[in-house]
Chain A
Amino acid sequence: MISFNLFVLPFSLGLIYLLYMVIRWWYKWVKALPEEEREKFRKGIFSRNFFSALKEVFLESLIHRKMFKRNPLLGYMHMSFAFGWFLLILFGNIESRIYSTSHVNPPYYPIFLKFFIHDKTVLWFEINTVPGFFRFLMDFLLLFILSGLVLAIIKRSKSNWFGMKRTTQYQLTDKVALVCLWLIFPVRLFAESFTDGYYGGGGGFITQHLGNLLALIFQKSSRHIAYALWWTYSLALGIFFVTLPFSRYWHIPTEVLLIFFRHFGITPKKVSSSFTDVEIGACSRCGVCIDVCQLGSAAHIHDIQAVYFIRSVRDEQVNRDIALRCLVCGRCQEACPVGIGADMIRLIERNTFSGSHDADFTYLPELSSSTASPYSFPALKSPSSPSQPSILYFAGCMTHLTPAIIKAMKGILKQAGISYHFLDEAGTVCCGRPMMLSGKHEQARKLVQFNRDLILRSEANTLVTSCPICFRVFREEYNLDIRVLHHSQYLLELIKAGKIPLQVYHRRVVYHDPCDLGRGSQEYNAPRELLGKVADMVGVSQERQDSLCCGGSLGIYTISPQKRDLITKDALEKLTLSDPEILATACPLCKKTFSKHAEIEVLDIAEIVYDAIPK
């Protein structure tokens, strides 16, 4: 006999619809992958990576490990919903197997089990295990989820308890789904309690006691109330499932696919791709990116944060402002518990809004033909020595605006007795990164190609640059088969080789991580080690991955200088809390930006090293 009641329909139809949507989109996304990546996906399913992905799904999608690291209360709240509900479904299914008389259970059966079975005594099971095991377990799991629900409600008004100053502003679909999600569990509790109370058995430690109390109050009518509540429960589930693909909760199935993509070696592209679409769907709108965004915290711009930007991409409502107003500092993607590459998505979207920039660089000297000499152009100075030195120094555009850095580098290299060629002594072509930040990768290629030819022509084996922006793009886009170093790395090498005599400087120095050197190129240690050799380092609360943007970022296009100043002043305030004498950085742009407002000396690492050389 199959148990059935009309009220199971909303749940069942909702579930069928949700499954249809998940399968449809997963299929669509996998199919849209380029051929070689689809091959990776196919191979990945039958490899060890499948299990490592499964492990990450468990740790991130259910346990919410990264959320726990951020804030234990926030982690618990997310875990109780995800892991609690997962266990409730899992054990509910096992329970329904034991108490069912039929061989095939319809999917709704475990969900509404108590409505169909009131007497939960199966002799063999009760004898062989702990009596009342499932009655206890199911109540316990429900309590686990309800504790999370209480936290979620508290979070609406006291988000700072959860380590969040601001939370996401939701849209209508999000609100509907949220209300349904919040209704599901209390309604289930009362539906079960009324049923247990009316039939006088079958409940666990909460549902039975609560049920007995309710039966005492409502007497015979508790049966009808229970029935109404079962309907409500089913409706809440049904509506939640139907709204899920259009709300933030779409991240639940999408994040799973994203984790599999990553483990199978599928990577983000510079143009809109299936991977980007999956990333966009996987954003849970948890709002962790809101507080870390300095445009919000320092410059009072509250509508462009990664969560809102990604939502606007998903809704196809990106506008020029939201696309171009971002520092591209990478703080949000560093904080993102899902690991969404928001910066890359922003650059992809920018392509549409930065105009059809048909950059015309035909004025640059032709380098591709081997006969043409680039040095016939006055701006491109030929090497000073006739033999080509193995070290190439590229200061970068921004460094030319901070001549003290160039002076220091020249001084140090002279002291160390290094023979080098100063590639852009009289200036050169931009490295291409600023153009890429407008989303114009194709146009930037022309600049990249020019500089690349120039670098390779010199036949050097090491390229040293003073600008982290150039450094990042040299490494990521230039495809050079020579060593590329930032000057902090190179100077550290020279010091370790004993080529630079140093005296300890004994001044309190705080170090600021430039975005493109730190988060962008993952180089946090070389500058610190270098500074540690000459000065006394003082700590700062936001450093390394959490370091602040100086406000001078080339990533942002639409911002007033006043707003930029707010970001710079705010960052300065945080950097100088421990009262250092010198603010050290490793980026000419950071130096120039900070110098405008700093009350203490702002120096580049190269300048500090140069100062420490006994003269």
Chain B
Amino acid sequence: MIDFGYSIRKDRLIDYDKNDKRVLKHLKDHEPSVLTCIACGSCTATCSAGQFVDFNIRLVQTLLRRGEIVPLKTEVQKCMLCGKCILVCPRGVNMRNLILAIQTATDKLK
């Protein structure tokens, strides 16, 4: 590796070749609408839980794609399943099943 004179913090390093795609794969089968997300943030803007805590469906999407399963599992626990996000989503992502399917998938990994 060329030395540019910078260092990389290990905990900020995401290796897309090695990341854990198991949960994402489960979702591709069980809630394929997850792939249509354009990260517009409408869901986050309307979120009931988001008024009280730093909860963000876009972050969920990011964690999912990076395969960061441990933070993903704690993140989705904040959801109240109220469903406002589905109504505002311009891409038809079925968020409530997304949350449940992530939980089912992370349960299976244990």
Q: Which A residues fall within an 8 A CB radius of B?
A: 320, 324, 353-361, 363-365, 377-379, 397-398, 400-401, 426-430, 434-435, 437-438, 447, 552, 554, 557-561, 589, 592
Q: Does B82 contact A (CB under 8 A)?
A: yes
Q: Does B94 contact A (CB under 8 A)?
A: yes
> B46-81 interface mask toward A, CB cutoff 8 Å, 1 = contact, 0 = none?
101101110000000000000000000010011111
With A320-B104, A354-B100, A357-B103 in contact, is A427–B83 under 8 Å at CB?
no
Residues on the A chain within 8 Å of B21, using CB: none
Chain A nearest CB, measured from B109 CB (Å):
12
Closest to A365 in B: B52
Contact B96 A434 (CB under 8 A): yes
Contact A356 B107 (CB under 8 A): yes
With A377-B52, A429-B48 in contact, is A397–B82 under 8 Å at CB?
yes
Q: Does B39 contact A (CB under 8 A)?
A: no
Residues on the A chain within 8 Å of B80, using CB: 359, 361, 429-430, 434-435, 447
Q: 7 closest pairs, A vs B, by CB?
A: A355-B103, A561-B92, A363-B53, A430-B82, A360-B77, A430-B80, A379-B51
Given contacts A353-B104, A359-B78, A364-B52, 10 further A-B contacts (CB under 8 A): A363-B52, A363-B53, A397-B84, A398-B84, A401-B87, A427-B51, A435-B80, A438-B96, A560-B94, A589-B87
Chain B nearest CB, measured from A566 CB (Å):
13
Contact B97 A557 (CB under 8 A): yes
Some 30 contacts from A to B, beta carbons below 8 A apart, are: A320-B104, A324-B97, A355-B100, A355-B104, A356-B107, A357-B100, A357-B103, A358-B77, A359-B77, A363-B49, A377-B52, A397-B48, A397-B82, A398-B83, A401-B88, A427-B48, A429-B80, A430-B82, A434-B83, A434-B96, A438-B81, A438-B96, A447-B80, A554-B83, A554-B96, A557-B94, A557-B97, A557-B100, A558-B97, A560-B33
How far is B94's CA from A294's CA once the two chains are assembled, in angstroms? Answer: 20
Chain A nearest CB, measured from B43 CB (Å):
12
How far is B76's CA from A80's CA once the two chains are assembled, in angstroms? Answer: 56
Residues on the A chain within 8 Å of B101, using CB: 355
A-B contacts counted at CB < 8 A amount to 99
> B9-30 interface mask toward A, CB cutoff 8 Å, 1 = contact, 0 = none?
0000000000000000000001
Chain B nearest CB, measured from A245 CB (Å):
34
Q: Does B34 contact A (CB under 8 A)?
A: no
Chain B nearest CB, measured from A33 CB (Å):
32
How far is B48's CA from A114's CA once the two chains are assembled, in angstroms? Answer: 75
Residues on the B chain within 8 Å of A353, using CB: 100, 104
Contact A438 B82 (CB under 8 A): no
With A353-B104, A429-B48 in contact, is A363–B78 under 8 Å at CB?
yes
Residues on the B chain within 8 Å of A426, using CB: 51
Contact A398 B87 (CB under 8 A): yes
Residues on the B chain within 8 Å of A435, using CB: 80-81
How far is B96's CA from A583's CA once the two chains are assembled, in angstroms? Answer: 28
How far is B107's CA from A599's CA once the two chains are assembled, in angstroms? Answer: 45
Contact A592 B100 (CB under 8 A): no
Contact B104 A434 (CB under 8 A): no
